[in-house]
Amino acid sequence: MDKQTLLHYVAPCSLFCYTCPALKDGAIAETASKLCTYFEGYYDFNDENIPEQYRSWLNEFEVFYKILNGYTKSKCPGCRNNPSSSNGCIEGCVVPSCVKEHGIDFCAECSDFPCQKGKDFFITINNTIRRDWELGSNRIKEIGIERYFNEKKDVSHYISYKK
């Protein structure tokens, strides 16, 4: 995987955008889109062809498909491509501008990591996210961004970044 793609899929703070449901071209949006393609016409076919006694699940499928289709419409461009002044998915995040100022791609590359600025910011958000920032950045420092991506790409976004 090329470096630009890795930079898109892994936020500067080490949080893993690739598996976030909000990322417009992340794993969830792409998988949902593929599933929607496979299910195209499924409801109509079954609506016309299955006997009445087996039709009760059609309403459940309709709701499922609507929710699944919603995941194909994710809009987040990722921290590095976000044109808003706050950048990132966390309102007021200091990391995107900080790594830019330091001329690096990740907090892990900074000689000041873990800096007080980052600690202060993340502690105001959530102690778990602060821990994930530190663990993820340390892991990037230890094994590099490509191996970090490969470790995380098939892990739920909402499971701790411990590894």
| Nearest-angstrom CA–CA distance, 152 and 23 | 15
Place of tokens 């202060």: 120
Find, among 85, 84, 116, 82, the residue nearest to 12 by Cα: 82
Domain spans, the chain? 3-26+74-152, 35-71
Find, among 85, 84, 97, the residue nearest to 11 by Cα: 97
Chain segment 78-102, per-residue pLDDT in tens: 888 776 655 557 778 889 889 999 9
Chain segment 53-63, per-residue pLDDT in tens: 888 889 999 99
pTM of the model: 0.83
The residues near 26 (Cβ < 8 Å, ≥ 6 apart) are 9, 17, 18, 19, 20, 74
- What tokens appear for 8 in the block? 């898109």
